[in-house]
């Protein structure tokens, strides 16, 4: 049985993961069909919400306070920093990348189509985030009991915890 | 190379087959008899969820969004269903555990009563777990999040849409009844979010910006150049580590405070017996503060000046000295930072927590019950369950915290005499005393319910 913490972590990463999958699917469809459907707007709003959360996390060290949202925002920032397609971004690089994504999503929300390159960049970003969240939930789901690490090898996992 | 439609069909079908296997598992679990209404309700929900997800998977084949995905995007999305399946399997395993081993049945109603008073109608499952630890799983919350995520209607939750918790306790320690005061901490976890304690407590913590900046700089400077970890990643990781630690530690400390509010000194004695066994006192994780810090804060709450039992007082005095925050040897710099920030606000955290709990449940007033508890200890000395005290011919039913405190005080002050009198080993005597206390809780519950229907 997963611990309480792991169960709720898995519940919330499933929620975030399915949301990200929906965003990626929407962006993929927009790129293929070159149109925005009315039903895309809720997913695009979710995409914007995620960017806002990342921005709150980005600002936390400088000006943030502790509240019930700070850990979630910091985690969103951490995920975003880890999936940016650049080896070691400076804060200015990060800011530029986020601004570009914000611009793309805002154009889509206004019902217009950005360039294919811009949509592709957004799709890649959300796709990597979706994958990172999947890796997190795999890690949680593969811990078999209350925080104990597996002591026997399973089909895909060595006793050390590394994968074979 | 793009994945072929054939491959996509294959993996989608494999996930559908998993759901079908899961539904077979539910059928076998349904054949069992349950004395409790929750397990069948959980099984019904999981069955509906599996069916819903299976339909959703089937629709993927004609879904234009899914068909527009690249190979790796499609793999990610399909794999998500594997985690969903694992989640459902864990939820089903709760039901499998119902009735396994000793279930601390005496505590079911008292604990449920406490939570219902604090949160409105609440139901619980008390489950032994194969671990030396306690846990509280907000089953209702988990099911709500996931059912919303996969697009199930709210009505699918049925009775599970309310407050439902699975409370895990160390299966092998169920015989140590007195130690179960720690369930007060788990009750705290159940109350923490619904009472909005995070909203009240987290803003009390001040961030030490200067030291945080200094820490971020020192991590960056100490990083080997070929690690290629940039400033942004360092800041992101540090922000996550600090905010997670503060959020989690404040919750753990508040839940300890709630445990103390419910059980008074008995909670501290239970914690002193349990926490030092979990590992070195100064070990900390992103999720748990060092146990020395938790004990220090419990001693800040404990007013033991009214305690009449010299052995209990001597025991607590010795531990008070060990459990000093200043003695903590920190091994993780951001944990030290989190610990110090929380310590600075610890008085406010305790009083705000107690204030909230007081409004809902009242706080156990040990000092106001000293004489009454003494009489319960006397019953323990005589080998009688301490479920009531008869004053002037009228029996006054003992509350759960009074029974537990009387039990703990007896363990210190009556144990030796009991061993001598009955020629019992220490283990036998402790076992008998724990059983007396369990019996008292059971009898106290019978009396309470009898009084309710009078």
For residue B9, pLDDT beyond 60: yes
Q: Which residues face B164 on adjacent strands?
A: B123
Q: Is residue A158 part of a domain?
A: no
| Residue A148 lies inside a defined structural domain of this protein | no
| pLDDT at A162 (0 to 100) | 35
Q: Are B80 and A89 a contacting pair at CB < 8 A? A: no
- The chain A residue lying nearest B93, using CA atoms, is A1
Q: Are B49 and B90 in contact (CB under 8 A)?
A: no
pLDDT score of B99:
64
Distance from CA of B59 to the nearest CA of A (A): 14
* Tally: H helices and E strands in chain B: 19, 5
Q: Choose among A8, A67, A74: nearest Cβ to B142.
A: A8
Lowest mean pLDDT among B15-19, B96-100, B307-311: B96-100
Closest of B123, B117, B104, B219 to residue B163, by C-alpha: B123
In angstroms, rounded to a whole number, what is the distance separating the alpha carbons of residues B156 and B440?
A: 40
3-state SS, one letter per residue, for chain A: CCCHHHHHHHHHHHHHHHHHHHHHHHHHHHHHHCCCCCCHHHHHHHHHHHHHHHHHHHHHHHHCCCCCCHHHHHHHHHHHHHHCCCCCCCHHHHHHHHHHHHHHHHHHHCCCCCCHHHHHHHHHHHHHHHHHHHHHHHHHHCCCCCCCCCCCCCCCECCCCCEC
Q: How confident is the model at residue A105 (pLDDT cuts 50, 70, 90)?
A: very high
Q: How far, in Å, CA of A15 to CA of A22, rounded?
A: 11
**Looking at beta carbons, which residues of chain A come within 8 Å of B243?**
60, 66, 70-71, 73-75
Q: Express each pLDDT in B151-177 by its tens digit.
A: 888 777 877 777 888 888 888 888 899
Q: What is the pLDDT of residues B302-315, one digit of tens each?
A: 987 788 899 999 99
Distance CA B362, CA B359 (A): 6
Q: Which of B220 and B137 is assigned the larger pLDDT?
A: B137
Tell me the two tokens of residue B267: 């909670």
Instruction: Indicate whether A149 belongs to any domain.
Output: no
CB proximity B285 to A under 8 Å: no
Q: Is the pLDDT of residue A145 over 50?
A: no
In angstroms, the CA A106 to CA A44 distance is 9
pLDDT of res. A108? 98
Which residue matches tokens 């009472």?
B195
pLDDT > 90 in chain B, percent: 59
A11 in a domain, yes or no?
yes
pTM of the model as a whole: 0.89
Q: What pLDDT, on a 0 to 100 scale, did the predictor assign at position B173? A: 81
User: Which chain B residue's Cα is nearest to A4?
Assistant: B137
User: Of B168, B180, B187, whose CA–CA distance to B407 is shortest?
Assistant: B180
If one counts every other C-beta atom within 10 angstroms of the C-beta of residue B48, the result is 18
Angle between helices A91-109 and A116-141 (to 10 degrees): 110
Tokens representing B232? 């942004």
Answer whether B205's CB lies under 8 Å from A66's CB: yes
- The number of beta carbons lying within 10 Å of the beta carbon of residue B18 is 21
- Residue B186's closest chain A neighbor by CA? A4
pLDDT of A144 > 70? The answer is: no
Two tokens at A78?
Answer: 């951490």
Supply the pLDDT for residue A153. 43
pLDDT average, residue stretch B235-243: 91
Q: Of chain A residues 104-163, which have a CB less than 8 A from chain B?
A: 127, 130-131, 134, 137-138, 141, 145-148
Give dist(CA B349, CA B202) in Å, integer.
9
**pLDDT at site A164:** 29
Q: What confidence tier does B8 reach under pLDDT thresholds 50, 70, 90?
A: confident
Q: What pLDDT score was predicted for residue B154?
A: 76
- Kindly report, residue by residue over B402-422, the tens digit of the pLDDT: 999 999 999 999 999 999 999
> Is residue A115 predicted with pLDDT exceeding 80?
yes
Task: State percent of chain A over pLDDT 70.
Answer: 82
Residues 187-216 of B with CB under 8 A from A: 189, 198-199, 202-203, 205, 207, 209, 212-213, 216
Nearest to A78 among B80, B212, B236 (CB): B236
Q: Residue B319: pLDDT above 90? A: yes
Q: Is the dihedral of CA B364, B365, B367, B373 positive or negative?
A: negative
Residue B101 has pLDDT above 60, yes or no: no
Q: How confident is the model at residue B100 (pLDDT cuts 50, 70, 90)?
A: low
Read off the pLDDT of residues B18-34 as tens digits, 9 standing for 90 and up: 999 999 999 999 998 88
Contact between chains at A78 and B240 (C-beta distance less than 8 A) = yes
Percentage of chain B lying above the pLDDT 70 cut: 96
Q: Whole domain around residue A67: which residue ranges?
A: 4-141
pLDDT of A7 higher than 80: no
Contact by Cβ (8 Å): B187, B144: no
A152 is a domain residue = no
pLDDT at res. B21: 94
A72 contacts: CB under 8 Å, gap ≥ 6 = A53
A161 in a structural domain: no
Please indicate whether, in this complex, the C-beta atoms of B90 and A18 are within 8 angstroms of each other.
no
Give the CA dihedral A12, A15, A16, A21, nearest 10 degrees: 150
Chain-chain contact of B203 with A87 (C-beta, under 8 angstroms): no
Q: Does residue A6 register a pLDDT over 80?
A: no
> What is the chain B residue with the closest CA to A22?
B65
**pLDDT tens track for B189-212:** 999 999 999 999 999 999 888 888
Would you say residue A146 lies in a domain? no
pLDDT at A146: 40
- For residue B280, which phi and psi values (nearest 5 degrees)? -55, 140
Q: Do B240 and A71 touch (CB under 8 A)?
A: yes
Residue B226: the pLDDT is 62
Give the integer Cα–Cα distance in Å for B139 and A8: 9
* Gap from B35 CA to chain A (nearest CA, Å): 22
pLDDT of residue B30: 92
Which region among A136-145, B41-50, B148-157, B180-189 has the lowest average model confidence (pLDDT)? A136-145
Please, where are the H alpha helices in B150-195?
Answer: 183-192
CB contact under 8 A, A3 and B149: no
Give residue A5's pLDDT band: very low, low, confident or very high (50, 70, 90): low
C-alpha B73 chain-centroid distance: 37
pLDDT of residue B406: 97
Assigned domain for A164 exists = no
| Structure-token match 């006793």, residue found | A159
Out of A123-137, B16-30, B156-170, B247-261, pick the least confident. B156-170
Q: What is the structure's pLDDT at B228?
A: 59
* CA angle in degrees (0–180, nearest 5) for B325-B330-B331: 165
Total domains present in chain A? 1
Give the length of chain A: 164
**Which of helix, strand or coil describes residue B123?**
strand
Chain A 11-70, residues with CB within 8 Å of chain B CB atoms: 11-15, 17-19, 21-22, 24-26, 28-29, 31-33, 57-58, 60-62, 64-68, 70
What is the reported pLDDT for B218? 83
Chain A residues touching B133 at Cβ < 8 A: 3, 146-147
Most A-contacting residue of B59, B83, B214 (CB-CB within 10 A), to test interface? B83
Nearest Cα residue to B193 out of A4, A60, A147? A4
Q: Which two tokens stand for residue A150?
A: 């597996």
Taking residues B71-90, report their average pLDDT.
88
| For residue A89, pLDDT beyond 70 | yes
Residue in chain A lying closest to B167 (CA) = A4
Q: Read out DSSP for B131-158?
A: SSS-EEEEHHHHHHHHHHHTT--GGGGG
Which of A2, A6, A10, A11 should be substituted to probe chain B, the one whose Cβ sees the most B Cβ atoms within 10 Å? A11
Other Cβ atoms closer than 10 A to B358: 12
Q: What mean pLDDT comes out for the span B219-236?
A: 75
- DSSP code at position B399: P
pLDDT band at B224, cuts 50/70/90?
Answer: low
Q: For residue B166, what is the enclosing H or E element? A: strand B163-170
pLDDT digits (tens, 9 = 90+) for A50-88: 999 999 999 998 877 899 999 999 999 999 999 987 777
């Amino acid at each position: 049985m997963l611990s309480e913490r792991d169960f709720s972590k898995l519940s919330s990463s499933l929620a975030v993961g399915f949301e990200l999958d929906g965003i990626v699917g929407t962006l993929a469809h927009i790129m293929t069909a070159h149109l925005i459907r009315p039903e895309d707007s809720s997913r695009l709003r979710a995409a914007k919400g995620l960017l806002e959360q990342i921005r709150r996390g980005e600002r936390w060290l400088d000006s943030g306070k502790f509240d019930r949202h700070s850990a979630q925002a910091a985690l969103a920032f951490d995920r975003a920093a880890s999936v940016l397609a650049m080896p070691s971004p400076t804060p200015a690089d990060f800011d530029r990348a986020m601004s570009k994504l914000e611009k793309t999503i805002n154009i889509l929300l206004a019902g217009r189509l950005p360039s294919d390159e811009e949509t592709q960049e957004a799709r890649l970003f959300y796709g990597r985030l979706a994958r990172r969240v999947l890796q997190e939930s795999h890690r949680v789901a593969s811990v078999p009991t209350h925080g104990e690490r597996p002591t026997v090898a399973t089909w895909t996992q060595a006793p050390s915890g590394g994968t074979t | 190379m793009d994945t072929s439609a054939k491959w996509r069909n294959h993996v989608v079908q494999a996930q559908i087959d998993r759901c079908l296997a899961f539904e077979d598992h539910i059928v076998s679990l349904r054949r069992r008899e349950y004395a409790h209404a929750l397990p069948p309700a959980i099984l019904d929900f999981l069955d509906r969820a599996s069916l819903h997800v299976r339909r959703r998977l089937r629709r993927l084949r004609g879904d234009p969004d899914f068909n527009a995905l690249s190979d790796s995007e499609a793999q990610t999305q399909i794999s998500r269903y594997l985690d969903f399946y694992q989640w459902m399997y864990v939820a089903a395993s709760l039901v499998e555990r119902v009735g396994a081993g000793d279930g601390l049945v005496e505590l079911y109603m008292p604990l449920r009563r406490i939570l219902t008073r604090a949160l409105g109608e609440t139901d619980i499952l008390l489950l032994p777990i194969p671990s030396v630890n306690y846990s509280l799983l907000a089953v209702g919350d988990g099911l709500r999040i996931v059912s919303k995520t996969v697009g199930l209607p709210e009505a699918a939750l049925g009775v599970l849409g309310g407050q439902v918790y699975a409370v895990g306790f160390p299966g092998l320690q169920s015989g140590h009844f007195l130690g179960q005061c720690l369930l007060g901490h788990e009750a705290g976890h159940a109350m923490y979010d619904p009472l909005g304690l995070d909203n009240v407590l987290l803003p009390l913590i001040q961030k030490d910006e200067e030291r945080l900046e200094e820490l971020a700089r020192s991590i960056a400077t100490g990083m080997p150049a070929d690690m290629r970890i940039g400033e942004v990643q360092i800041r992101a990781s540090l922000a996550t580590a600090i905010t997670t630690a503060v959020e989690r530690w404040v919750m753990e400390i508040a839940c300890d405070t709630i445990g103390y509010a419910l059980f008074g000194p008995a909670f501290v004695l239970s914690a002193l017996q349990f926490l030092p066994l979990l590992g070195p006192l100064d070990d900390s994780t992103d999720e748990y503060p060092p146990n020395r810090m938790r004990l220090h804060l419990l001693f800040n709450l404990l007013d033991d000046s009214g305690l009449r039992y010299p052995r209990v007082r001597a025991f607590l005095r010795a531990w008070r000295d060990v459990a000093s925050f200043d003695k903590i040897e920190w091994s993780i710099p951001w944990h030290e930072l989190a610990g110090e920030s929380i310590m600075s606000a610890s008085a406010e955290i305790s009083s705000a927590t107690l204030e909230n709990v007081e409004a809902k449940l009242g706080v156990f007033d040990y000092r106001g019950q000293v004489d009454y508890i003494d009489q319960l200890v006397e019953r323990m000395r005589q080998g009688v369950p301490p479920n009531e005290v008869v004053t002037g011919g009228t029996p006054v039913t003992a509350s759960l915290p009074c029974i537990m405190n009387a039990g703990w005080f007896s363990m210190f002050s009556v144990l030796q005499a009991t061993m001598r009198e009955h020629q019992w080993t220490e283990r036998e005597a402790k076992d008998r005393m724990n059983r007396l206390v369990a019996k008292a809780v059971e009898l106290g519950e019978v009396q309470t319910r009898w009084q309710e229907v009078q």
